Amino acid sequence: MDPTSGPIAATEQPLARAQAEVAELLSDLIRIDTTNTGDTATGRGERAAAEWVAGKLGEVGIDGEIHESERGRASLVARVEGADPSRPALLIHGHLDVVPADPAEWSVHPFSGEERDGYIWGRGAVDMKDMDAMTLALVRDWARTGIKPPRDVVLAFLADEEAGGKLGARWLVDEHPDLVGDCSEAISEVGGFSITVRDDLRLYLVQTAEKGLAWMRLTAGGKPGHGSFVHDDNAVTRLCQAVARIGNHRFPTVLTPPMRAFLDAVSDAYGIEIDADDPEHALARLGSISRMIGAALRNTANPTMLTAGYKANVVPGTATATVDGRFLHGQQEVFERELAALIGEGVQRDWIVHDQAVETTFDGPLVEQMVSALKAEDGGARPVPFTMSGGTDAKSFERLSIRCFGFSPLRLPPDLDFAALFHGIDERVPVESLRFGVRVLDRFLRAC
């Protein structure tokens, strides 16, 4: 008989139930299709997922409140009472929505939550329903066994992160700040994962900063007319020239404090010298994760969409492009000046999403507890700070002066291309990594 099934035995190891159920919780949550297209009319599943989370919390006596910014765009907030409620609370936030996935491209159906070869497969497995499931498994275990954290822990399971959080975290902060306003610190996605240096050494990347968002729409105008005529005032040409300048431009290297600390750790771990003017060369040793890290060494702008015209023989009067811009902390003004020069004359720029960069320091009691929890579960752990190239809901919570970290602990297999799984095909997470994460989170949260 499986010792983790049925009622909890008196001699059962601590966290046995949580470690046994975390994979199942993740599978069940993946099966709720929470695709966020950026348009409420074509999105789906966020309300169903929030209700499912509420049910799982309710089973163990934890009350959660569901809040909708728009019909179906639901976020859930719950509070786990701590031993000392007079202390500032700690926020754990995770988003429920996922980016779209085409089943034809996958080895398994992206919303199957299938367990195969020691992994849970599906859209959201690493971004970020894995952290949602680890958090749920842990607090359910605490509720069953009567454990209280040292201070209140606020849980926020959020809508709309994949479209910038306007209808999720940002709406919650603007409309219901009282729900999280007493939190002094927060943890969430994209941090605490391992990079194997050698058998006895793994770097664990804790996110202390993330780039700002500058998603923009470029619109060029011109003189419309017949496609057979000579057109010197062509909107498509003008737009494409601007898009090509942006896409081919390489912004200069800027070493922010967390990335200097990260590069120092890489230099020490691998015993190599790193050229501050060309750090990417050294980062190649990190394998596929170097793409994610390398993007945090400079501002970036990548054209992603083009729209123009309606017929082959008609020159259109307008043409539009979408560009995904990201800027480092302290670099917004420099980035926008450089971008304006690349866009040039005759092209209008409008922001689709524009949000600040976030950065904190890698110090203090909370960081010490992260380090201690990781080292307790992995003797070869060396936690280091880093800047994430993407964005998270930390941008919203930072507005309430909450100190935000990416800390979703996972000990990963050395050969797993982890960076490629974010928004990628065949997204998956090892079951053993989920169990590791539950144990680390338990140690961390019981100490903070």
Structure tokens at 430: 């090892």
Is residue 337 predicted with pLDDT exceeding 70? yes
* Sequence ranges of the chain with CATH classification 3.40.630.10: 16-207+360-447
Q: Are 396 and 93 in contact (CB under 8 A)?
A: no
Residue 353 CB-half CA count within 13 A:
25
User: What was the pLDDT predicted at 9?
Assistant: 38
Is residue 11 predicted with pLDDT exceeding 50? no
User: What was the pLDDT predicted at 6?
Assistant: 40
Q: Are 400 and 154 in contact (CB under 8 A)?
A: no
User: What was the pLDDT predicted at 289?
Assistant: 79
User: What was the pLDDT predicted at 68?
Assistant: 98
- Tell me: domain 210-355, CATH 3.30.70.360, correct? yes
For 48-57, the pLDDT digits (tens) are 999 999 999 9
Is residue 312 predicted with pLDDT exceeding 60? yes
* Sequence ranges of the chain with CATH classification 3.30.70.360: 210-355
pLDDT-based confidence at residue 78 (cuts at 50, 70, 90): very high
CATH of 16-207+360-447, one of 3.40.190.80, 3.40.50.1100, 3.40.50.2000, 3.40.630.10: 3.40.630.10
pLDDT, mean of residues 226-244: 93
| Residue in 315, 327, 321, 328 with CA at minimum distance from that of residue 344 | 321
pTM attached to this predicted model: 0.92
